[in-house]
Each structure stands twice: as structure tokens, then as C-alpha cells.
Amino acid sequence: MVTKAPGPDESVPLGQDGDPVLASYYRLMRLKRLYRQGWLKRGVPAEICESVAEHSFGTALLGLLLTGGPAGTASHEGRALDSSKVVLMALVHEMGESYAGDITPVDGVPKEEKMRLEREAIGRSLGGHPDAAWFLGLWEEFEEGLTPEARFVRELDRLEMGLEAALYRSEGYLGMGEFFESSRSAVGEKRLRAILEEAIAASTTGATRIAPPPSLPPPPRMPPASAVPVAPSVPPEPSMPPEPAMPGASIMPSPPRMPDATAVPVEPDMPPPPVMPSGPSLPAPPALPPAPFIPGPPAMPAAPAMSKPH
């Protein structure tokens, strides 16, 4: 049996003397983590696969929409229905799968064995609850179809399956034909059958779309820019008066205003430096006497002439 996770009752360690409502709640919340096995077997991925608790809620919601409120005039077999009993029975009708699991027709489990397993599961889920017998009786009334409400909820059970199959088919998951036929074979009440056929037809043509809510009125049209009145100019804020000087504090005089560049006088030209007088002329140095004549060495006598060899 494929589940999302272990049951909450396996994770929360409750004591034996605790409140039976809390214990029953965690045991029955196993249905939130139990996939509807038939969808998985037909290729619906786990991330969008319906759980047993979601199926029970969908069945109860159909019962509420059809029988609850001032306009809830649904009847079955010519008799008015007890709306409260319809919704309660729809919520209870899958309690037996809390521990028995979602046994499908292809699993080959006989009907009597399936009922035995689910009856034991309800006893285990509601163990210690003071109204356990009442819930079990309501479940058995549904299983055996003993009252008009029970037979009406049995049709709602199959109708919800057909509507879910139509949703999956419109989302591109094939192999839903067998679920359509199973729903048709069990849904005989006129209005329920019309709802089923409408959903199947929409999914077959690929036109399943939820009608959008009524559109809101458009916002008022803004006038053109030329027609928008210009907001009056805001007057400037009045200047704040200077703060009074603190008593005893000397007021610093404002620095003198610098004259303009054109008002600054031009400095006069500086006179040239005075010419320094020259000093007295120095006398020329006396002329030096000529150097004395020094005689050269005496001339050497000429050597005798050499005769040529003969």
C-alpha cells in the first residue's frame, strides 16, 4: 500500500491514559497520507494523486452543496434527505481504510473479507472513544445501503470518483475510461448523473475550464492631461527671523567687505635705482726694462773634408 509517509499515530507517542479524542484523531489522520491506489495504478503521479481523506472531503462537499442551505432541495427515491446525516456519513464512509488500506477491485479481495478488515480498522481507530459504536453503526448503514441517505451517499462516492477522473483526463492523463464506466453504473439519480456527464463531456473534448468569477467594473477613465486642472502654486514659506543673541555673548563683527577688483588702486611705478659714482682712476704700471742680451756658444771649427775611396 503506497502512502505519503507513516501514519501520525506512529510518530506521536501518546500515553495510554490520554484523551481518546486525540488518539482517534491521529489514527484517522492516516487517511491524509494514504493515496487512492487506483489513480497511482493508472499513471497519476504521486504529487497530484488524491488521498483518501481528500476523497472523503470531496464526497462530503458534494453532499453539502446538494442538500445543505435553503436551496438544498435534493431528494432521493422520492424522499427528502437529512442533510446533516448525508454529510456525516460521507465523512465516515472511508474510516475503515485507516488501517485496512485502500483495497481496489483489482486486488482480488472478497467483499466479505474487505468489510471485516475495515470493521476491525474502525474499532482500532476509535478504541477508547465513547461514541465508537455510533460511528461504526453509521459506517455499516452506508456499506449496506440501509437508508435513502446511505444509498444517496453511495452514489456521491462514485460521483466524486468520476469527477476526479474527468479532472485527471483534462490534465492529460489517459486510462480514465474505466472509472467513467464505473461511475455511470452506480450513479442513477437524475441530477447526479447530469453532473457526471457534463464533467465527462468537458474532459473528453479537452475543454474543461472553470468559469471565471464575474469581472469587476473597469476603473474610471482618467481625463486627458490637458483637462487635468493645474494645482495652485504653493506660496513660499516665510523666512524665519534670526535667532536673538544669547545674553552676555559678544557679537562678532562682520568681516569688512572686500572692494571690487576695479576699485583696488594701482600701485605706483618704482623709481629706477640711483647711478653709483665711479671711483678715481688707477695709474698705469711702469714699463719693464728689456731683458739683457745673452751671447750664444762659440761656433765649432769645420771638420776636414774626407777623400772618397778609390
Lowest mean pLDDT among 92-96, 130-134, 207-211, 293-297: 207-211
Evaluate whether residue 92 is within a structural domain. Answer: yes
pLDDT higher than threshold 60 for residue 108: yes
Evaluate whether residue 209 is within a structural domain. Answer: no
Q: What is the reported pLDDT for 16?
A: 83
Q: Count how many domains the chain has.
A: 1
For residue 128, the enclosing domain spans 18-204
pLDDT higher than threshold 80 for residue 66: yes
Q: pTM of whole model > 0.85?
A: no
Evaluate whether residue 150 is within a structural domain. Answer: yes
**Model pLDDT for residues 188-228, shown as the tens digit of each residue:** 999 999 999 999 999 986 544 444 455 555 555 655 545 44
pLDDT higher than threshold 60 for residue 255: no
Evaluate whether residue 230 is within a structural domain. Answer: no
pLDDT higher than threshold 80 for residue 171: yes
pLDDT higher than threshold 80 for residue 249: no
pLDDT higher than threshold 70 for residue 281: no
CATH code for position 155: 1.10.3210.10
Q: How confident is the model at residue 304 (pLDDT cuts 50, 70, 90)?
A: very low
Evaluate whether residue 192 is within a structural domain. Answer: yes
Q: What is the reported pLDDT for 213?
A: 53
Q: What is the 3-state secondary structure (H, E, C) of the chain?
A: CCECCCCHHHHCCCCCCCCHHHHHHHHHHHHHHEECHHHHHCCCCHHHCCEHHHHHHHHHHHHHHHHCCCCCCCEECCEECCHHHHHHHHHHCCCCHHHHCCCCHHHCCCHHHHHHHHHHHHHHHCCCCCCHHHHHHHHHHHHHCCCHHHHHHHHHHHHHHHHHHHHHHHCCCCCCHHHHHHHHHHCCCHHHHHHHHHHHHHHHCCCCCCCCCCCCCCCCCCCCHHHCCCCCCCCCCCCCCCCCCCCCCCCCCCCCCCCCHHHCCCCCCCCCCCCCCCCCCCCCCCCCCCCCCCCCCCCCCCCCCCCCCC
Q: What is the reported pLDDT for 204?
A: 82
Q: What is the reported pLDDT for 262?
A: 44
